[in-house]
């Protein structure tokens, strides 16, 4: 099976040749049985498992990702995604019979789930293995061939990913094309049958525009600002700990990281104290030497986050925790901001770093107005012990997904659709939802014996006109 890994940023003719091979293979791939698709997924996981240590080393090199978190948030996620496919695939692939109406008398109709063809998967850097392989598992389950374009910012991991794929698949089934914007642009000019893009809303728009050239369907897994709304609760400790963990895991570089928090004004001090305590408990001592605290992926991103903090402070925000960021070392320490000016950039742009602005409210209406005046978030979090409060939040504020009394964990489920709305995305991944994105639902109709339709063809004699009139009245 092993084939050679493509050079980084390959020439356009290499990209086109790779695409043609995948296109030629697509009809055979579509015809694979559930068993054959599962065999490929097993081969993929076997290669991932073999390269577990290399993946850990690569992610440490890319952005000092702790080895334990590579196991938990990358490898385990793919293992569980493959398991979900193995459990459900036969059922998902089965053609579904559907009833007919009067016009279809004498017929049978069914819906055949079929692979769309050649898929393009473009991924970001923040989970450099998970966000490449989770869509790939869905594409293979659906019977597509695929090109993967991993992020150039996590190049060490992208190389291991390319080697894993070259050992698990033949070169006309799955290809990894490494490179930056130019490579991505070349790929986007090709007539793919589906594009599964994970990344920023700004690039998502470029992808959608490119897809219109051919045209093909898109899944856009984008980002944005995911708010947390904390109710007035007896103790703030549990909420504070979960929010602190979700904000600092991956150094805040999570598409569904809690971006900012709203707490009742009279509980602010309680909450801020509890979040600070939780952050210091999880990451004690000098943050620079803490092996559990991840780095920002690149100096320019660390600088971007530091500027957000500086701008907020210059506009009067108080830094309750933080300071001492070193852009060159890609280090932004855990940061808590209070008293933030609503016009500060930190409340406008997706933070994507370990910085938590805490805002206050006196009445829920203020929260509703603030969040709904901004683009629809990818996730919405509510911490409350009161069901009516939770219902109010869910019914009055839209979001891609939501968690009650926890943050981020909903993403790990293979049974929930995961995706955004508007600026936070189009379509959903995970489990059967991912399979469906790469699948065309083909409606098939078979005439077994002739029904009324055959009687109603021209010429329209008087009795036919009468019959049509009766049918219309009777139906
Ligand atoms: P990005 O949009 O900058 O890059 C994503 C991919 O697109 C990369 O592979 C990159 O090479 C490519 N790309 C960049 N510019 C391009 C262009 N002009 N034309 C064509 N391709 C281009 O995103 P990022 O910085 O890698 O990731 C962070 C963003 O991704 C955040 O907004 C985050 O919220 C989002 N994200 C979303 C999810 C999700 O599942 N919804 C998951 C992770 C990250």
| Structural domain boundaries in the chain | 12-222+426-442, 226-415
Beta carbon of 123 within 6 Å of any ligand 1 atom: yes
Angle 138-139-143 (CA atoms, 0-180°, nearest 5)? 115
Residue 307: pLDDT over 90: yes
Q: What is the pLDDT of residues 175-230, one digit of tens each?
A: 999 999 999 999 999 999 999 999 999 999 999 999 999 999 999 999 999 999 99
A 10 A CB-CB count for 15 gives 22
Beta carbon of 155 within 6 Å of any ligand 1 atom: no
Beta carbon of 206 within 6 Å of any ligand 1 atom: yes
- Report d(CA 88, CA 81) in Å as an integer: 11
Structure tokens at 331: 């280090």
- Report d(CA 90, CA 41) in Å as an integer: 14
pLDDT band at 298 (very low <50, low <70, confident <90, very high): very high
Atom of ligand 1 nearest to the CA of 255: 34
Q: Whose CA is nearest to atom 30 of ligand 1?
A: 199
Displacement of CA 134 from its chain's centroid (Å): 9
Name the H helices within 31-105.
34-50, 52-63, 67-70, 76-93
Atom of ligand 1 nearest to the CA of 188: 20
Q: What is the pLDDT of residues 404-457, one digit of tens each?
A: 999 999 999 999 999 999 999 999 999 999 999 999 999 999 999 987 777 788
Beta carbon of 259 within 6 Å of any ligand 1 atom: no
Structure tokens at 317: 């925000």
pLDDT band at 401 (very low <50, low <70, confident <90, very high): very high
pLDDT band at 376 (very low <50, low <70, confident <90, very high): very high
Atom of ligand 1 nearest to the CA of 122: 9
Is 11 annotated as catalytic? no
Q: What is the pLDDT of residues 80-135, one digit of tens each?
A: 999 999 999 999 999 999 999 888 888 999 999 999 999 999 999 999 999 999 99
Most ligand 1 atoms within 8 A of CB, residue of 62, 63, 124 to mutate: 124
Atom of ligand 1 nearest to the CA of 350: 32
Residue 1: pLDDT over 70: no
Amino acid 141: pLDDT: 98
Average pLDDT for the chain: 96
Q: How far is the CA of 125 from the centre of ligand 1 (A)?
A: 7
Q: What is the CA radius of gyration of the chain?
A: 26
Beta carbon of 122 within 6 Å of any ligand 1 atom: yes
Contact 296, 305 (CB under 8 A): yes
Going by C-beta distance under 8 Å and a sequence separation of 6 or more, which residues neighbour residue 250? 65, 69, 73, 126, 127, 257, 294
Beta carbon of 125 within 6 Å of any ligand 1 atom: yes
Q: Which of 144, 216, 255, 330 is catalytic?
A: 255
Q: How far is the CA of 292 from the centre of ligand 1 (A)?
A: 25
Q: How far is the CA of 199 from the centre of ligand 1 (A)?
A: 3
Question: pTM score, two decimals?
Answer: 0.96
Can you say whether residue 117 is alpha, beta or left, with left for phi > 0 and alpha for psi between -120 and 50 degrees? left
Exposure of 380 in the CB half-sphere (CA atoms within 13 A): 24
- Report d(CA 290, CA 282) in Å as an integer: 10
Fold classified for 226-415: Aldehyde Dehydrogenase; Chain A, domain 2 (3.40.309)
Structure tokens at 195: 């594009």
Helix axes 34-50, 76-93, angle to 10 degrees: 180
Q: CA dist 125 to 198, 260, 264, Å?
A: 10, 22, 35
DSSP string, 130-165: HHHHHHHHHHHHHT-EEEEE--GGGHHHHHHHHHHH
Q: How far is the CA of 172 from the centre of ligand 1 (A)?
A: 26
In percent, the amount of the chain with pLDDT more than 90 equals 94
Beta carbon of 378 within 6 Å of any ligand 1 atom: yes
Beta carbon of 223 within 6 Å of any ligand 1 atom: yes
Is 350 annotated as catalytic? no
Residue 357: pLDDT over 90: yes
3-state class of 258 per DSSP? strand
CATH of 12-222+426-442, one of 3.40.50.2300, 3.40.605.10, 3.30.565.10, 1.10.510.10: 3.40.605.10
């Amino acid at each position: 099976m092993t084939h050679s890994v493509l050079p980084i940023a390959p020439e356009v003719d290499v990209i086109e040749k790779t695409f043609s091979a995948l296109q030629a293979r697509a009809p055979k791939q579509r015809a694979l049985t559930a068993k054959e698709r599962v065999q490929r997924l097993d081969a993929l996981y076997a290669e991932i498992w073999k390269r577990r240590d290399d993946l850990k080393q690569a992610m440490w090199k890319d952005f000092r990702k702790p080895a334990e978190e590579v196991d938990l948030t990358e490898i385990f996620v793919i293992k569980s995604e493959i398991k979900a496919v193995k459990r459900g695939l036969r059922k998902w692939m089965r053609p579904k019979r559907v009833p007919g109406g009067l016009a279809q008398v004498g017929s049978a109709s069914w819906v055949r789930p079929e692979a769309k063809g050649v898929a393009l998967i473009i991924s970001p850097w923040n989970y450099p293995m998970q966000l490449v392989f989770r869509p790939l598992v869905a594409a293979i389950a659906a019977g597509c061939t695929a090109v993967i374009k991993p992020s150039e910012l996590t190049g060490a991991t992208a190389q291991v990913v390319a080697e894993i794929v070259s050992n698990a698949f033949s070169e006309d089934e799955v290809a990894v094309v490494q490179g930056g914007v130019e490579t991505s642009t070349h790929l986007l000019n090709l007539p793919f049958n589906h594009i599964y893009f994970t990344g920023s809303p700004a690039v998502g728009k470029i992808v959608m525009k490119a897809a219109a050239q051919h045209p093909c369907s898109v899944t856009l897994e984008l980002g944005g600002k995911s708010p947390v709304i904390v109710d007035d609760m007896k103790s703030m400790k549990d909420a504070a700990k979960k929010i602190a963990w979700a904000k600092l895991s991956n150094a805040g570089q999570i598409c569904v990281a809690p971006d900012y928090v709203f707490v009742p004004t009279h509980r602010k001090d309680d909450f801020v104290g509890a979040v600070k305590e939780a952050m210091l408990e999880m990451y004690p001592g000098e943050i620079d030497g803490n092996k559990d605290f991840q780095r920002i992926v690149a100096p320019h991103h660390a600088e971007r986050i530091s500027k957000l903090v500086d701008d907020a402070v210059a506009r009067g925000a108080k830094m309750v925790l933080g300071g001492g960021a070193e852009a060159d070392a890609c280090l932004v320490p855990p940061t808590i901001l209070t008293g933030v000016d609503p016009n500060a950039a930190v409340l406008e742009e997706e933070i994507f770093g370990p910085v938590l602005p805490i805002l206050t409210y006196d009445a829920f209406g203020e929260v509703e107005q603030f969040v709904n005046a901004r683009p629809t978030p990818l996730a919405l979090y509510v911490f409350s012990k009161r069901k009516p409060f939770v219902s109010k939040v869910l019914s009055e504020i839209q979001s891609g997904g939501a968690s009650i009394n926890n943050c981020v964990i909903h993403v790990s489920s293979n049974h929930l659709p995961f995706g955004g709305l508007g600026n936070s995305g189009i379509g959903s991944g995970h489990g059967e939802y991912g399979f469906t994105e790469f699948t065309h639902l083909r409606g098939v109709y078979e005439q077994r014996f002739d029904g009324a339709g055959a009687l109603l063809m021209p010429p329209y004699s008087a009795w036919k006109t009468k019959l049509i009139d009766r049918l219309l009245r009777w139906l």
